[in-house]
Amino acid sequence: MTTLPDWLVERAARGEVPAASRRRIDEADPAVLAAAIERLRERDAAELRAHPAGPALADIERAVARERARRATRRRGAQAGFLAVAGAAVVVVLVIGRSGGPRGAPDAENPAAGETSQPERETTRVKGDLRLIAYRKAGDKAERLAEGAAVRPGDLLQLRYNGGGRRHGLIASIDGAGAVTLHFPDSPEAPTALGDKTTDLPHAYALDDAPRFERFFFIAADQPIDVARTLTALRALAARPDSERAALDLPPRFRQFSLLLHKAPPR
């Protein structure tokens, strides 16, 4: 049995264990981990009793306001500077143009003349963790739903995702009635290519009255994903009695992220 490092106990206490560390948590002694989390919570409470959030936050918010004002001033200064430089550049170009001077064409003996040297670029494709976040519309705000959060029929959910550097992805969900819904791509025939940036699905979804749970899957890979086969695997999972928790059986080249939401009765 290995001792968990402090940072991992902190994450476990907040339900934010990274995917790469889940095995360490699974292999830890549950009683030891629970005791460590309890101690952390007691320390959190003691710290907030000794140093209440109010005064510290007031200081922080003042500093944030000052920094925002400083940045805004700097942006305005930079814009003014840019306009001045741009204006001067126009004058210089006009003068050089009229005098028949160099027009910026590459020097035939030194084609690289005028190019600035670029630092060596990082060529590693950045790959982080997959992220799939569900938000629920709450009045005029969007509320982020944590793993295990309770949702109700009629709740309006929006999904946001980031493939963590993988080129292809598929988002689908299964529910307690055994239904499978494809969210991305738009249809089984559509390409599964992902962008580099965090993206919102173009539609929100209103939950129906399927019982027990909604479970979302984000599956990603570096090669195109066979949507029909993946949906078959999801249907097989949805038909199992333990579909709420069971693993989705896919080849190891796929990375998976699962988000489980519990279904509460309608209000």
Partner 1 sequence: MFNRAYSIELAVPVDAKQLYCAYGPMVLRRCSQLLGDEQAARDVMHDVFVQVLLRAGELTDQAPSSLLFRIATNLCLNRMRSSRRHPETIDSDLLMDIAVTSDPAARSLARSTLDLLFRHEPDGTALCAVLHLYDKMTLEEVAEEVGLSVSGVRKRLRKLRAKLHHQEAVRDDAA
Residues that bind partner 1 (CB under 8 A): 5-7, 10-11, 14, 16, 18-21, 40, 43-44, 47-48, 53, 56-57, 59-61, 63-64, 67-68, 122, 124-129, 131, 133, 135, 137, 140-144, 156-158, 160, 162, 164-165, 173, 175, 177, 179, 181, 198, 200-208, 210
Minimum CB distance to partner 1 smaller for 57 or for 236: 57
In contact, 33 and 8? CB cutoff 8 Å: no
Which residues, other chains included, contact 140 with Cβ-Cβ below 8 Å and sequence gap of 6+?
none
Report strand pairing: 168-175 vs 141-145. unpaired
Closest approach, Cβ 71 to partner 1, in A, equals 8
Minimum CB distance to partner 1 smaller for 115 or for 120: 120
Residue 205 half-sphere exposure, CB side, CA atoms within 13 Å? 20
CA–CA dist 225, 252 (Å, integer): 13
Q: List the one residue out of 43, 7, 13, 12 whose CA is nearest residue 26.
A: 12
Closest approach, Cβ 114 to partner 1, in A, equals 28
Closest approach, Cβ 219 to partner 1, in A, equals 18
CA–CA dist 265, 222 (Å, integer): 40
Closest approach, Cβ 245 to partner 1, in A, equals 20
User: Would you state the structure tokens that stand for residue 74, as one six-digit string?
Assistant: 């700097």
Minimum CB distance to partner 1 smaller for 102 or for 252: 252
C-beta neighbour count of 34 within 10 angstroms: 12
Minimum CB distance to partner 1 smaller for 68 or for 74: 68
In contact, 242 and 260? CB cutoff 8 Å: no
Closest approach, Cβ 40 to partner 1, in A, equals 8
CA–CA dist 37, 45 (Å, integer): 12
Minimum CB distance to partner 1 smaller for 69 or for 92: 69
Minimum CB distance to partner 1 smaller for 110 or for 124: 124
Report strand pairing: 150-151 vs 255-263. parallel
Output the CA–CA distances (angstroms, integers) from residue 236 to 209, 249, 262, in the order listed: 21, 9, 20
Closest approach, Cβ 2 to partner 1, in A, equals 10
Closest approach, Cβ 59 to partner 1, in A, equals 6
Using only C-alpha atoms, the chain has a radius of gyration, in whole angstroms, of 27
Minimum CB distance to partner 1 smaller for 95 or for 179: 179
CA–CA dist 107, 62 (Å, integer): 54
